[in-house]
Amino acid sequence: MSVYNTLAVWQRIEKMGIKNDLSNFINRKIYSKEEIEKNKQELLKLRAKIEKNKVQLKKLKETIAVSRNEFDNINQSISADKELSQILDLQKKAHENLTNLLDKIKSENNVQESGLFIPRYNFASSLNYKDKLARIRENEKLMIDTGDAVMIKERVSLNGDYDKGEALQNSQAKALTRCFNGEADAIIYKVTASNWEQRNKQLGRIFVSLNRIFKKQYMSISEAYLRLKQDELKLAAEYELKKEEEREALREQREKEREDKKLQEEIKNARKQIEKDKHQYQNAILKTQERLQNAASTEIAKLKQQLEEYRQKMADLSAEEESVDYREGHATAGYVYVISNIGSFGEGIFKIGVTRRLDPYERIAELSSASVPFRFDVHTMIFSEDAYGLETELHQTFDKYKVNQVNLRKEYFKVPLKDIEDVLAKHKDLTVDVTENAEAFEFHQSLAIASQKLNTKVHTAATLIH
C-alpha cells in the first residue's frame, strides 16, 4: 500500500472517530501476543516438568514394585526361615536322641570291652535263673535228640555203603557233641560276672577249633546250638551274680537282726539300770525325809537341798525311761550318721548309714574294728523319728556319687560334705550339727611317725657317708 493510500485510510478513521479505539486495540493485541508468548514458555516449562514428574513417577512405581517383590520375598523368606527353624529343631532333637542312643551303645560296648558285666535277664531271684537254666538245658537236649546240634553238610559212604557211612557220621557227630559240651560245661562251671567276657570268647574259640577239626567229616556244631550255649553261659554268670546279691542281702539282714538284738539288750540293760537307780534314789529320799523330822535347825537347809537333788534325779530317770519306751515302741526311730575314714578310703569319701542303738557311737566303734586300719571320724549324728526314711532319701539323692556302682548296698559316697549338709538343712525339724574337718588322729600320727622314721634313716645314711 502506498503512503498516500495509508494517509487516506487514517483520515477516514479519524473522521469516523475510532482512531483512539483502534490504537488501543492494537496495543492490547501486541500485549496479548507477548503474554501468550510468555504463557507458551511457561506451558512448555510445565509440560517439561510434567514429563519429568512422569518419569520420576514411573521410576517410583518401579521402585514400589521392586520393594513389593522384595517385601514378598522377605515374607516368604521369614516363612521359610520359620519352617526351616522348625525342621532344624526337629533335626536337633532327632540328633540328640540319636547321640544319646549312640552314647548308650558306646557305653555298653565300652563296658563290655572293659570286662564289666551287663545283666540281660534281671530276674528277681536266683530261683528264676535256676528255672531258666533248666529250660535252656532242655532245649539243648532237644536239639541233640533231633540232630540239630550238629550240622552234617554232606553224606559219605564207607566202602561204597552209604548206610555204613551214615552210621559213622552219626557216631562222629555224637563225639563232636560230647567234646563241645565237655569243653563248654567246664567254661560255664567257672564263669562269673567278672570273667564272663573272657569265657564267652573262649567258648567261641572252641566252637571254631572243633568245627575246623571236623570239617573233613563234613560236619560242624550248629550256630543255633552255639547260641544256646552262649545263653547258658550268660545266664550262669547272672545266676552267680544274683546268688552273691542274695548272700549280701542275707548278710545285711543278719546285720540288721544283730543290731536289733543289741538294741534290745541295750534297752533291757538300760531298764535294769534305771530301776536300780530309781530304787536307790527312792531309798535316799525316804531316809532324807526321816532325817528331816529329827534334824537340827542347822541341818534342815542342807537336807532339803539333798532331797531336791534326789527328786530331780528321779525326774531325770523317769524321762530317760520314757525315752527308752519310745525307742522300743518306734521301730523307725534312730540315728543317721555321716562318717569318714581318710586313712582307709581317702579324702571326700563318706559313709552314710543308720543305727537304732541307744548309744550310736558304739556302732561307729564296731565299724572301726579290725576290718579297717583306722578309726572312723563322725561328721554328724542326727536323731530322727524316721531314720530309715532319711537314710534312704540321702542314698537316693547321692546315688550317682556311689563309690560302688554295682553293689548298691555299699553306703560309701564320693561327694562334697557341703552337699550332704544342704540336703539335711531342708529338714527343719532335725537338729543337724556338722563337723567339716575330720580329725583322723591315728592316720596323721601314722604319717608323722613314718616321716620321722624316714628322716632318721636319711640322717643315719648321711652320717655313714661322711
Name the more confident of 26 and 176: 176
The pLDDT of 277-284, averaged and rounded, is 92
- Phi and psi (nearest 5°) for 308? -65, -40
The pLDDT value given to residue 423: 94
* Angle formed by the axes of helices 387-397 and 417-425, nearest 10°: 130
Confidence of residue 193 (pLDDT cuts 50, 70, 90): confident
Report the alpha-carbon distance of residue 250 to residue 99 in Å, rounded: 41
Report the alpha-carbon distance of residue 126 to residue 249 in Å, rounded: 13
Q: What is the mean pLDDT of the chain?
A: 82
Task: Give the Å distances, CA to CA, from 3 to 18, 26, 378.
Answer: 20, 20, 149
The pLDDT of 260-280, averaged and rounded, is 90
Whether 200 and 173 have beta carbons less than 8 Å apart is answered as no
The pLDDT of 171-200, averaged and rounded, is 92
39-66: pLDDT as tens digits = 677 777 777 777 777 777 777 777 777 7
The pLDDT value given to residue 314: 92
The pLDDT value given to residue 8: 54
DSSP 123: -
Is 50 exceeded by the pLDDT of residue 286?
yes
Report the alpha-carbon distance of residue 106 to residue 103 in Å, rounded: 5
Domain extents for the chain? Answer: 45-113, 126-245, 264-329, 334-450
98-127: pLDDT as tens digits = 555 555 544 444 444 444 567 777 777 889
What the block records as the C-alpha cell of 397 is 539323692
Is 80 exceeded by the pLDDT of residue 78?
no
What the block records as the C-alpha cell of 166 is 551214615
300-345: pLDDT as tens digits = 889 899 999 999 999 999 999 998 888 888 878 899 999 999 999 9
